[in-house]
Structure 1
Amino acid sequence: MRSIRLRLDVSYDGADFSGWAIQPERRTVAGVLVEALGRLVGVDTALGLTVAGRTDAGVHASGQVCHVDLPESQWEQLEGSLLRRLAALMPPDARVKAITPVPQTFDARFSATFRRYEYRVADTVWGPEPLRRSDTIQWVRPLDVDRLNGGSFGLTGEHDYAAYCKRKEHATTIRAITRFDWRRDPDGVVVATVQADAFCQSMVRSLVGAVLTVGDGRRDPGWPSTLLALSERSSAVTVAPAHGLTLIAVGYPDESDYAARAEATRRLRA
């Protein structure tokens, strides 16, 4: 039976989810998405749900991407109404914002060229604005943006980030960070932007946690990059809280390059 591959653009508030991946007896983003799709296409339909990046418990997303495969006959029936029907079935803290047919060569995970995250920190005495409390952490010490950028500078490029990762057996900790910078927005919140080809588990929050100690004056700007010489996770790095982190974008090449990019990524990860 022919199938149609669909790209789904997804947003969610991670506060009440135990991360993306389906887990027994736990509420997860993939779990509620599969449940909603199952009510529309049948619980026994193999969807092949694949996500660009599995976010941890408490982490949010405004630009997550995944793909599913639907039998062509079902897609023909649902094409004009699937997005609206999912909106009615999904919980209010998770939304599918767009559904796009893509070639079978598209792989939400392996075809991706980058993942971009933002991390929000309020260093005001009174803390985050109440309406942003779920995606912004409070930092009790004043932060200097120049020092933050100084601490981040040496962490960009291709390195072994073992000091900042939860190592998994047979998995590499080599990554290529193409952007890591900080700004202070008009509302006074300090925001880090971190972009790489991919990330290890808890890597972004570990990087942010290390550089925040530079921004508040407790560490020298050169300290975070010295940890790149380590081959194991550093006990000196505190992982920043999950709720300050949001996946805001996933990048992909031109359609004609989906397969080549996926093949190259699989070789690199191996």
Structure 2
Amino acid sequence: MSGVVRVRLDLSYDGSEFSGWAKQAGGRRTVQGEIEDALRTVTRSATTYELTVAGRTDAGVHARGQVAHVDLPREVWAEHRPKLLKRLAGRLPKDVRVWALREAPAGFDARFSAIWRRYAYRVTDNPGGVDPLLRDHVLWHDWPLDVDAMNEAARGLLGEHDFAAYCKRREGATTIRTLQELSLVRGDDGIITATVRADAFCHNMVRSLIGALLFVGDGHRTPDWPAKVLAAGVRDSAVHVVRPHGLTLEEVGYPADELLAARSAEARNKRTLPSAGCC
């Protein structure tokens, strides 16, 4: 569309006071709603320009490296581009920031062109609880955690699988994903950071995986248990979806510019696992 410019936005937000990314009925406060309202105001437009996002985060989940795109009329982009970033900073609430605005390369789609998303989940087992300054970003687990056991369990979940046992099903959506990284490190401050990276995530997947690993870390389950749950392919009542505030979308990865369109087309295809058997 020659009259439209696709603009990439890099942004971050504190999800504590948001009902998630996506706009919702009933007037609930959302990240998408705040940015779209601000964009409409600063461009003095009667039209709401709708955002497409790399990862639709749930209520209470934070983002440091979120990516979105918006299609703007070429004349609107040309007129407002020089001062758009600063004007958005003046209009947006303090818990959401847009850090960069630039014309996207051909074939770019914030959602479908992405080849991975990387999240961090932060938890502490400090007997005294969570530092009050970090209370909205770190989960307190009131049992001592064995990080080595958790990492052993995590290795059994890597690769391409049907993660139905760790996802909230959505009609017509696949639960097949490739988990590229799942590892945990305890920092000098005692906070354990789990790094979770995959080509995409289904609903509640990260928080369910962390819930399973916490059960291993505190000794309630053995390190082989999360992989057994995965293989069973059904939700296990012992797998808890941990609270959202410990979760942050840290970064979204994209291929080289010349591969963006092909990746977008590939990601739109519904995935299936290779058939088991001979030959």
User: CA–CA distance in 2 between the matches of 1:164 and 1:207?
Assistant: 6
Which residue of 156, 161, 164 maps to 2:163? 161
The residue aligned with 1:64 is 66
Report the alpha carbon displacement of residue 54 of structure 1 after superposing the two structures with TM. Answer: 0.3
User: CA–CA distance in 1 between the matches of 2:125 and 2:233?
Assistant: 33
Report the alpha carbon displacement of residue 104 of structure 1 after superposing the two structures with TM. Answer: 4.1
User: CA–CA distance in 2 between the matches of 1:206 and 1:72?
Assistant: 43
Which one-letter code corresponds to 2:191 in the other structure? V
5 Å-filtered alignment, 1:221-232, equals 221-232=223-234
User: CA–CA distance in 1 between the matches of 2:7 and 2:72?
Assistant: 8
5 Å-filtered alignment, 1:13-32, equals 13-24=14-25, 25-32=27-34
User: CA–CA distance in 1 between the matches of 2:48 and 2:17?
Assistant: 26
Report the alpha carbon displacement of residue 268 of structure 1 after superposing the two structures with TM. Answer: 3.7
Q: 1:76-114: per-residue Cα shift (whole Å, max 9, x none)?
A: 111111110000010000110111211241000000000
The residue aligned with 2:90 is 88
The residue aligned with 1:212 is 214
User: CA–CA distance in 2 between the matches of 1:206 and 1:39?
Assistant: 39
The residue aligned with 1:255 is 257
Is the counterpart of residue 129 in structure 1 residue 167 in structure 2?
no
5 Å-filtered alignment, 1:1-270, equals 2-24=3-25, 25-45=27-47, 47-269=49-271
Instruction: Point out where structure 2 has 5 or more consecutive residues left out of the alignment.
Output: 273-279
Aligned-residue sequence identity (percent) comes to: 54
Q: Answer whether contact 2:106 2:260 (CA < 8 A) is retained.
A: no
Query: Which 4+ residue blocks in structure 1 deviate beyond 3 angstroms?
Result: none
Which one-letter code corresponds to 1:15 in the other structure? S
User: May I ask how many residue pairs the two structures share in their alignment?
Assistant: 270
User: CA–CA distance in 1 between the matches of 2:12 and 2:69?
Assistant: 14
Q: Answer whether contact 2:40 2:48 (CA < 8 A) is retained.
A: no
User: CA–CA distance in 1 between the matches of 2:22 and 2:50?
Assistant: 13
Quick one: structure 1 residues 269 and 45, their matched pair in 2 at CA, closer, same or farther if it must change by over 3 Å?
Answer: farther
Report the alpha carbon displacement of residue 46 of structure 1 after superposing the two structures with TM. Answer: 5.1
User: CA–CA distance in 1 between the matches of 2:270 and 2:46?
Assistant: 34
**TM-score, length-scaled by structure 2:** 0.94
User: CA–CA distance in 1 between the matches of 2:267 and 2:80?
Assistant: 33
**TM-score, length-scaled by structure 1:** 0.97
Q: Answer whether contact 2:20 2:59 (CA < 8 A) is retained.
A: yes
Report the alpha carbon displacement of residue 48 of structure 1 after superposing the two structures with TM. Answer: 3.7
Report the alpha carbon displacement of residue 4 of structure 1 after superposing the two structures with TM. Answer: 1.0
SS at match of 1:125: coil
Q: 1:110-156: per-residue Cα shift (whole Å, max 9, x none)?
A: 00000000000011011111111110010101111101101111011
Q: CA RMSD in A?
A: 1.3
Report the alpha carbon displacement of residue 42 of structure 1 after superposing the two structures with TM. Answer: 4.2
Q: Answer whether contact 1:12 1:95 (CA < 8 A) is retained.
A: yes
User: CA–CA distance in 2 between the matches of 1:244 and 1:264?
Assistant: 32
Q: Answer whether contact 2:19 2:29 (CA < 8 A) is retained.
A: yes
Q: Answer whether contact 1:162 1:230 (CA < 8 A) is retained.
A: no
User: CA–CA distance in 2 between the matches of 1:158 and 1:42?
Assistant: 46
Q: Answer whether contact 1:4 1:104 (CA < 8 A) is retained.
A: no
User: CA–CA distance in 1 between the matches of 2:191 and 2:114?
Assistant: 29
